[in-house]
Chain A
Amino acid sequence: MTSKHDGDILGRGKSQGADLIRDWFGQLSAVAQNGGDSAYVFVMGSLVELLGAFDLPVVFPEINSLQTAVRHVAHEYLEEAEDYGYSPDICGYVKADVAVQLRGGDHPAGSIPRPALAVLTNACNTYIKWAEIWERMYDTRMFTLDVPGTRSATAPESDQQYRADLAYVDGQIRELIAVCEAMTGQRLDLKRLGDRLRNANTMNTCWKRILELNRRRPGVFNALTDGTIYLGVSNALRGTAEGAQYFVDLVEELEYKADHGIGTVDDETYRLAFVGVPCYPSFRRFNEMFTEWGGEFVTSTYLWFASGGSNLGFQYDPGHPIESLAEGTLLSVRDAMDSMFHQDRVLQGMIDDFELDGVVFHPIKSCRTVSTGLADGRRALMETRDIPTLFIESDMMDRRVVSEAQLKNRIDAFFEGLASRRQREMVEA
């Protein structure tokens, strides 16, 4: 591994990831142009492993929407949906997708096929409201996989209670299989499902390893920018051989960087955690406002929940694919929910594991699932840990509520505080 030259390996994950996503959009465009149908899914509990076994092309509307923001055209889509009747105060992802649908699938990355099937979990309630829109537009078959979450952070559940939840998820997955069989005319091939679960196992193992590698100093990837590319591949190519190989290669690259002390910024002065959803309308600039001060996002809750809980590294049993898929889905989606609603508990571990200097909370207008509890989570964290935090609000889609000047003022003040604190600590030492 270390015999490879830097030029062969460094940056490979980013460029290959971008290529894979481009190819994936190309495949979806081909489906759309041929009038083919697809299954619409979401990042928290996509069940792509199962849908792939039926050869159903999968569309991630969340990825489509964030792509419009990264490409600086989201406002056009948002305004079109608002003209149609949707309020400025609802999720921007939903509105961008409504506009994509109103445009017949026209998207900056290609053409998006129509949904014949929508598979969603309850990890985000807006998933349900969103799918209802396709149900009304296209008579799309909507399947809600209901995943019971944590009832209390302090009251553990019994084995009997866990088994009741598992039976519910298992039963629903079998019902979904029946829906897919009826829709495609194919019987589920358990061997194909098993193969996809093996690939997903590789991806889960690698994902967990990648997150752990950033505990090293310096961090080997930026959790906000690089991490989002990895996340795209993790979701879009989940369960595929290409996805598994990508992550094997990515681990190789990041381990190489770790072994050679290669970081992502010239001088990693401050190690930070990002809590929330990125500011996609100002994606690059937002990150620069931190890196200019030597701040590096080495971890984020986003890489936990938006990976659908892959951070657990859950390993399916391909010999019992349906039962194992049910268990993996229950545990992983529940973990994704926990990392949103109990983010203060997640951060307790991150602060030590990643030797953090600060935590950045970034609630956004568009996503109440992630954002509602952040102010209180920050309060709770600061009551128990002596760590500087920053609380800044913007949006993941809507540039009308993103003020770069205000963000920069707050961020600069945060770093000035970090610098003073470090000087004080050095003097005291």
Chain B
Amino acid sequence: MVNTVDPSFDVFPEWRGKDLDAAFALLRDLVEDPDYPTVRRWREQGGKVLGHFQVYFPEELAHAAGMLPVKIRGSYIDAMQADSRFGSYLCSILKTSLELALTDRLELDLFVTHPICDAARNLGAIWERNLPYPSRILYLPQNPNSSHAKNYLRAEYARMLEAIEQVAQTEVSEDDLNQSIALFNRNRSLLRQLYAVKRQSPWLIDADEAYVLVALGGILPREQHNEVLAWTLSKLSSRQAKRQDRVRVVFEGAFCEQPPLELIRLVGRSCYVVDDDFLIGLRWLVDDVDVGGDPLANLATAYIDRASYSPVQHDARKPKERMLLERIERSGADAAILTAAKMCEPGLEEQVTYTRALDDAGIPYFVSEFQETMTSFEHLELQLETFVENILFE
């Protein structure tokens, strides 16, 4: 028996009819809620859920099979049960993500992870040993410069689609996939518009508000995420907000574990965050995916040729320090905030490269580490304010 959810079912109607500030308050609470109420409601309707760990997953595959793709990005909860499954010296997001599953806060039908880093690549086996539903590793190509990478990735997507079809108990046609790609293209377009606002009129939207809007994509059906984005964007232009003399910064280092929303709010109080890599996997494809023809091949091509960058992918066409400098230039930023999650090896390694590149380019930067579960921000805020003042009064 195939379980599908009525497309008109609204998993989070609470925001409708509210003004912008009231809607943001509700949506912020939703993003921070470790009990994933929208996923619960989806499941209560008989829907199935695919949870995918950071960074990128082609969610169109799950959507086309009628599943809800959910981005697993850790949480600020205590990893009471998961702690015993891990040793020391590990980032928090691994532990809290598993904790969400072990405690049934986040119930899934299929878990997918990727070999993005040495620690996260262990998650597939750990999940498989601890939870009753299937766990799969999606081997996104680590050699995107090979002429064989696209064919390989197309086959890898086909393999993943088979696993999804088994769980969803359905067959996915090319038409289904093309419809999903078109829907996600709309989503990508809306997210690009949101980032254009951040770059061009950052006073219209706070850093944490923009973050919430992106993060909703990880927990809402994409149709409903598109509605929220379109409505918000339509309201922003008439928002009463005054332009201030703030430093324009790029925030870099949140490609996997996410800083607490309070930290993002803190940064936004003294800076305009005009670009960033928050939840970059939800914005990984920087352009539309072709619709029509072979949809799996189209998705593979987009991943190889039209994608962003992060410390967990090497691509000779995209040296990361050059990409960061381009992000800074494109957004008209004055400075960069270079962060890394504690114990995040790729992030910490990239900080060395980034700082040297910024030194060479004469661009000021602020270096810091964070943890998703951190609760004290006073010291960080003081350091950041000092950094900002140095730039403003230089």
Residues 63-98 (chain B) with a chain A CB within 8 angstroms: 84-90, 94
Q: Mark A131-171, 1 if CB is under 8 A from B, else 0.
A: 11100100000111110111111110100010011011001
Which residues of B from 178 to 225 have beta carbons under 8 Å from A? none
Q: Find the B residue at minimum CB distance from A132.
A: B314
Take A144-B142, A342-B125, A372-B94 as given contacts and tell me if A149 and B137 are in contact as well, using a CB distance cutoff of 8 Å: yes
A124 to B148: give the CA distance in the assembly, Å: 21
A-contact 0/1 string along B148-185, CB 8 Å cutoff = 11011001100100010000000000000000000000
Confirm or deny: A369 has a beta carbon within 8 angstroms of a beta carbon on chain B: yes
B78 to chain A, nearest CB (A): 17
A87 interfacial contact with B, CB 8 Å: yes
- Whether B89 pairs with A365 at a CB distance below 8 angstroms is yes
Please name the residue on chain A nearest to B139 by beta carbon.
A148
Whether the pair A379, B148 counts as a contact (CB closer than 8 A) is no
How many Å lie between the Cα of A89 and that of B312 in the bound state?
Answer: 17
Known: A124-B118, A368-B119, A368-B345. A161 touches B159 (CB 8 A): yes
Interface size class of A (residues with CB under 8 A): 35 or more
Interface residues of A in 337-393 (CB under 8 A from B): 341-342, 344, 363, 365, 367-369, 371-377, 379-380, 391, 393
A375 close to B87 (CB less than 8 A) = yes
**Is B348's CB under 8 angstroms from A368's CB?**
no
B374 CB–A CB distance under 8 Å: no
* CB-defined contacts of B117 to chain A, threshold 8 Å: 125, 368
* Smallest CB separation, A175 vs chain B (Å): 6
Residues of B within 8 A of A175 (CB): 146-148
- Residues of B with C-beta under 8 A to A167: 148, 151-152
| Beta-carbon contact of A149 and B115 below 8 Å | yes
A400 to B43, CA, bound (A): 49
Residue of A nearest to B342 (CB): A89
- Does B10 lie at the interface of the complex (its beta carbon under 8 Å from any beta carbon of A)? no
Stretch from B25-33, B127-135, B229-237, B286-294 that touches the partner:
B127-135
A151 near B118: Cβ-Cβ < 8 Å: no
Contact status B163-A145, CB under 8 Å = no
Interchain nearest-CB distance for B366 vs A (Å): 15
Distance A126 CA – B345 CA, assembled complex (angstroms): 8
Q: Across the interface, do A393 and B143 meet the contact criterion of CB distance under 8 Å?
A: no
With A369-B121, A372-B86 as contacts: A154 and B128 at CB distance below 8 Å:
yes
Partner of A168, one of B84, B86, B151, B340: B151
Tell me if B50 counts as interface (CB < 8 A to partner A): no
Tell me the complex Cα distance, A376–B152, Å: 32
Q: Could you mark each residue 338-359 of chain B with 1 if its beta carbon is under 8 Å from any beta carbon of chain A, else 0? A: 0010110110111111011000
Q: Which B residues lie within 8 Å of A376 (CB)?
A: 85-86, 125-126, 129-130
A94 within 8 A of B: yes
Contact A151 B137 (CB under 8 A): yes
Q: Which residue of A lies closest to B340 (CB)?
A: A87
Which of B138, B142, B156 is the one whose CB lies under 8 Å from A128? Answer: B142
Q: Is B352 a contact partner of A85 (Cβ separation < 8 A)?
A: yes
The CA of A92 and the CA of B116, in the complex, are separated in Å by 20
Q: A293 interface residue, CB < 8 Å from B?
A: no
Are A373 and B352 within 8 A (Cβ)? no
Contact A172 B94 (CB under 8 A): no
> Given A90-B349, A164-B155, A168-B152, are A372 and B139 neighbors across the interface (CB < 8 Å)?
no
B-chain residues with CB within 8 Å of residue A125 when the two chains form the complex:
115-118, 121, 312, 345-346
Write the nearest CB–CB distance from A330 to chain B, whole angstroms: 12
- Interface presence of B122 (CB below 8 A): yes
Contact A393 B142 (CB under 8 A): no
A363 B125 Cβ-Cβ under 8 A = no
Question: Chain B residue with minimal CB distance to A98?
Answer: B352
Q: Give bound CA distance, A144 to B352, whole Å.
A: 22
- For residue B47, CB closer than 8 A to chain A, the reply is no
Residues on B with C-beta less than 8 A from A367 are: 118
A89 to B350, alpha carbons, bound, how many Å? Answer: 13
With A161-B159, A342-B125, A373-B122 already in contact, the answer to whether A155 and B349 are too (CB < 8 A) is no
Contacts of B129 in A (CB 8 A): 344, 376-377, 379-380
One of B89, B118, B138 near A369 (C-beta < 8 A): B118
List residues of chain B with CB within 8 A of the CB of A373: 122, 125-126
Complexed CA–CA distance, A84 and B122 (Å): 30
Residues of A within 8 A of B348 (CB): 86-87, 89-90
Checking A152, A157, A379 against B128 with a beta-carbon cut-off of 8 angstroms, the contacting residue is A152
B141 in contact (CB, < 8 A): yes
Taking CB atoms, residues of chain B closer than 8 Å to A371 are 87, 89
Residue of A whose beta carbon sits closest to that of B83: A375
Determine the residue in chain A with the shortest Cβ distance to B148.
A171
Chain B residues closer than 8 Å to A91, beta-carbon distance: 345
> What is the minimal beta-carbon distance from A173 to any residue of chain B, in angstroms?
10
Residues of B within 8 A of A341 (CB): 121-122, 124-125
Residues of A within 8 A of B146 (CB): 146, 168, 171-172, 175
When distances are taken between beta carbons in the complex, the residues of chain B under 8 Å from A132 are 314, 349, 353
Chain B positions within 8 Å of A365 at CB level: 88-89
CB-CB under 8 A from B118, the residues of chain A are: 124-126, 367-369, 372
Given contacts A342-B125, A368-B90, contact A142 B119 (CB under 8 A): no
A372 near B122 with CB under 8 A, answer: yes
Q: When chains A and B are docked, how far (Å) is the Cα of A129 from the Cα of B119?
A: 14
The verdict on A393 contacting B87 (CB below 8 Å), with A151-B136, A171-B148, A341-B125 known, is yes
Distance of A146 Cα from B142 Cα, bound (Å): 6
A371 to B122, CA, bound (A): 9
Q: Which residues of B contact A (CB under 8 A)?
A: 84-90, 94, 115-119, 121-122, 124-126, 128-130, 134-139, 141-143, 146-149, 151-152, 155-156, 159, 163, 311-312, 314, 316, 321, 340, 342-343, 345-346, 348-353, 355-356
Contacts beyond the supplied A144-B142, A369-B122: 16 A-B pairs with Cβ under 8 Å = A85-B352, A86-B349, A89-B342, A124-B118, A126-B118, A149-B115, A149-B139, A152-B124, A155-B134, A175-B146, A175-B147, A341-B121, A341-B124, A368-B90, A377-B129, A379-B85
Nearest 3 pairs of A and B residues by beta carbon: A171-B148, A164-B155, A369-B118
6 contacting pairs across A/B (C-beta < 8 A): A87-B351, A144-B314, A151-B137, A376-B126, A377-B125, A379-B129
